[in-house]
């Protein structure tokens, strides 16, 4: 069945390429009867068509982005379906026609996950040695009572929660990248195939090490947000790469370091982990976040005595600049999304005790680092 499914998908891709169609609706109305030659249940024909269309539209997107593409082709046998399958306890039953089923035994972990509250299986993908089940969970977004601001830097990620500020050191990411660059540079053999293979291996190793490192941080941040019922606020770093383009008068090493800064991966991980728990994630403009005092709102100056510290003349407090930025981001997010100005008067009337001054309680000098 998997072999046949693969053939149908490839057949569909060929048809789609010949007629320049990549939408499922058009495709199924034009070519559904061409698939009559295959002896398989019609639901699998539908999913095969949608698989083919997905690949075709992906190719179109890549062409739009200006990449060179090869026409898609499926090499390995596989089967995808979202219709008619059942999960009974430990068994996944896949219908094969004439009321016959193929049963697959699921392992303990999968059975446990599937039996959790509110989880519904939506579709499955099976290959000769792999089975993956796609699940859906219905969640209600929480109403945030606090905010957590996140400031991302090259060497650290700083968050400010309602009670304290935490700095995660990310200098290790830089050393991972440097090491892997060093290893790649030391490659000497003059064989393109071996070289390509080696480089791919090294790149995969590097990215999985970075991902693993960031997973720890993102998990911790999301669990903190869940604990304190807080929304997560990021600074919007769109267009940051433009600052470090060639010809901007910066050195090669500097540009390489900043352009390999993996700020987006942390954001991606936090976004999906937060979505799974119903925690809202929002973005604010990073402008002036490290220029104003988070306590009084006055202009803040560099501390001449200590590196990377900022001094407020009004309050007389010297604080770490990353902590200042994360507190300002949290503050911006709070006033922007959780307390829009127009409504605040009304919202206060009913529950005056509910208001919490988020920023004022933060003590900049108390810094826990992990």
Q: Rule CB under 5 A: which residues touch Zn ion?
A: 293, 295-296, 312, 314-315
On whether the CB atoms of residues 228 and 161 are closer than 8 A, the answer is yes
> Which residue, 51, 43, 69, is CA-closest to 7?
51
3-state secondary structure of 65: coil
**CB of 315: closest distance to Zn ion in angstroms?**
3
3-state secondary structure of 311: strand
How far is it, in rounded angstroms, from Cα 286 to Cα 239?
12
Would you say 58 or 314 has its CB closer to Zn ion?
A: 314
How far is it, in rounded angstroms, from Cα 67 to Cα 81?
31
**CB of 318: closest distance to Zn ion in angstroms?**
11
Would you say 40 or 315 has its CB closer to Zn ion?
A: 315
Would you say 22 or 165 has its CB closer to Zn ion?
A: 165
| CA-based radius of gyration for the chain | 27
How far is it, in rounded angstroms, from Cα 24 to Cα 165?
50
On whether the CB atoms of residues 127 and 78 are closer than 8 A, the answer is yes
**CB of 304: closest distance to Zn ion in angstroms?**
17
**CB of 365: closest distance to Zn ion in angstroms?**
13
Would you say 92 or 358 has its CB closer to Zn ion?
A: 358
> Which residue, 97, 130, 88, 70, is CA-closest to 4?
97
Would you say 159 or 293 has its CB closer to Zn ion?
A: 293
**CB of 108: closest distance to Zn ion in angstroms?**
56
Would you say 203 or 308 has its CB closer to Zn ion?
A: 308
**CB of 351: closest distance to Zn ion in angstroms?**
29
């Amino acid at each position: 069945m998997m072999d046949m499914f693969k053939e149908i998908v490839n057949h569909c891709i060929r048809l789609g390429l010949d007629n320049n169609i990549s939408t499922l609706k058009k495709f199924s109305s034009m070519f559904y009867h061409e698939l009559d030659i295959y002896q398989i249940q019609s639901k699998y024909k539908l999913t095969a068509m949608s698989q083919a269309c997905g690949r075709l539209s992906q190719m179109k997107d890549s062409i739009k982005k200006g990449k060179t593409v090869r026409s898609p082709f499926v090499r390995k046998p596989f089967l995808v379906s979202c219709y008619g399958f059942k999960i009974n306890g430990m068994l996944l039953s896949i219908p094969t026609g004439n009321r016959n089923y193929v049963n697959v035994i699921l392992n303990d972990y999968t059975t446990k996950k599937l039996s959790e509250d509110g989880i519904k299986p939506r579709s499955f993908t099976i290959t000769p040695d792999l089975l993956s089940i796609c699940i859906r969970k219905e969640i209600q977004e929480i109403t945030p009572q606090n905010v957590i601001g996140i400031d991302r830097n090259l060497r650290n990620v700083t968050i400010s929660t309602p009670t304290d500020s935490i700095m995660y050191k990310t200098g290790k990411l830089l050393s991972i990248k440097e090491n892997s660059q060093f290893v790649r540079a030391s490659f000497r053999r003059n064989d393109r195939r071996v070289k390509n293979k080696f480089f791919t291996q090294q790149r995969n190793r590097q990215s999985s090490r970075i991902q693993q490192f960031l997973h720890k941080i993102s998990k911790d941040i999301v669990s903190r947000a869940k604990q304190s019922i807080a929304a997560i606020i990021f600074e919007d770093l769109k267009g940051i790469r433009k600052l470090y383009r060639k010809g901007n008068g910066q050195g090669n090493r500097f540009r390489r370091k900043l352009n390999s800064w993996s700020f987006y991966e942390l954001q991606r991980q936090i976004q999906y982990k937060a979505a799974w728990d119903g925690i809202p994630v929002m973005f604010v403009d990073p402008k002036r976040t490290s220029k104003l005092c988070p306590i009084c709102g006055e202009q803040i100056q560099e501390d001449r005595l200590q590196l990377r510290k900022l001094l407020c003349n009004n309050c007389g407090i010297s604080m770490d600049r990353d902590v200042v930025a994360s507190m300002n981001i949290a503050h911006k997010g709070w006033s922007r999304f959780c307390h829009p100005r127009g409504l605040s008067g009304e919202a206060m009337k009913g529950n005056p005790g509910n208001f919490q001054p988020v920023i004022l309680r933060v003590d900049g000098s108390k810094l826990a680092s992990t």
